[in-house]
Structure 1
Amino acid sequence: MKQSNKIFLSVMAIIGGLLVVMLMFGGWWISTNNRINNQQQDVEQQWSQVENVMQRRYDLVPNLTAAVKGSMHQEQKVFGDIAKARSAYNSANTPKEKMQADSQLNKSTSMLINVIHENYPKLASNENVKNLMVQLEGSENRISVERQNYIAAIRAYNLTVINFPSSIVAQAKGAHTLDYFKATTTQVQNAPKVNLDD
């Protein structure tokens, strides 16, 4: 075998090896990019589900308000707070704004339910009112579950964005970590109290 053939074969082996490495790197890059895209979609899908269950509660509140308003003339402040909270929720655009508005709606609705139980026991025992309060309680549970799922989706996405080597792809495509939902101190201290046994 001539020297030139050996050199040619060596060069071809090096080129072949480089092509294999480049193909493997390209495959990894595409796979990682797709994983980040999929996780972004998971986060968006989960946020849609959070909005869905918050919207369910948002839609129930007027029914409860209408059912009790006629019997609760002196509680106009509570009804005003609920109206403001619903308006804020309706005009919120970002997940952070929605969560804050939802928190205010939750607080106002909890206040209404507490007032009903404390000051209007006959009204609290009304079947229609009781049913609406049970539905609101169910909405609270759904919201809690969906928030947990949303937080888990954000965690998976954030880990991909910050962990090496996927962080290289994330940085190249401009992906950044997302904020977690955090309950404010007021939300934690003023958790809704729904007592249907009174």
Structure 2
Amino acid sequence: MNDRTDEQLIQEMSKIGELFHQLPDVAVSPYLHAKILAKTTRQAFFVRRTMRYVLPIAAAILLTLGLQNFRALFNNTTSTTHVSEQTTHKTVNAGISLASFGDQEDPIDSMAMDPQLTARDLNPMVMEYMATFKFQQALRLRAKGDYEGVAELLERILKEHPTYSRNADVLTIRIDALFRLGKNYEALQEFSYLKSVDSQRAQILQERWLKN
């Protein structure tokens, strides 16, 4: 690219020289001719040197603006998700409800509002969002009484998103679905695991089942 630019510069200087020869009524000294050519050369090299610094700065500004827009998009999306989740909590009252589980601040909101967020942080943020979306689908299936679909979808979340911040809620509702399906052996296995990782939650689940 530099060779091509130098060649174009030489052609431009040649054209300037031809223009001086085409002006018979104007006496141009060799010194003035050389001075004009030198000025043109300096301007061309100044432009090339300036562009070397301007282009990376412009690219960095565009990348920053794009990242801010992406963060704003996640803010709007997760706000809608949070409202939808609260509505789901109100409609699902039978058996085990999420009203007692996972009312903490939405981790997606806290990540999206982080001013230190970089491109490297987007992957876990997207995975958290995907797991939340699947979890909400499972809640809708549960409200419709499709416990088979609930158990399968929650199992996928546990396998595909092992670091999901609400996996304790996922496991609790999956155990509830398994009991309702009559899969007591599998439900007891899941319950034993829940008891080992969160004994308080397991106790609440056991008390609710005894009441029912």
What range describes the TM-score normalised by the shorter chain of this pair? 0.3 to 0.5
TM-score by length of structure 2 reads 0.38
TM-score by length of structure 1 reads 0.40
* Bigger Rg, which one: 2
- Greater RCO, 1 or 2 (C-alpha within 8 Å, sep 6+): 1
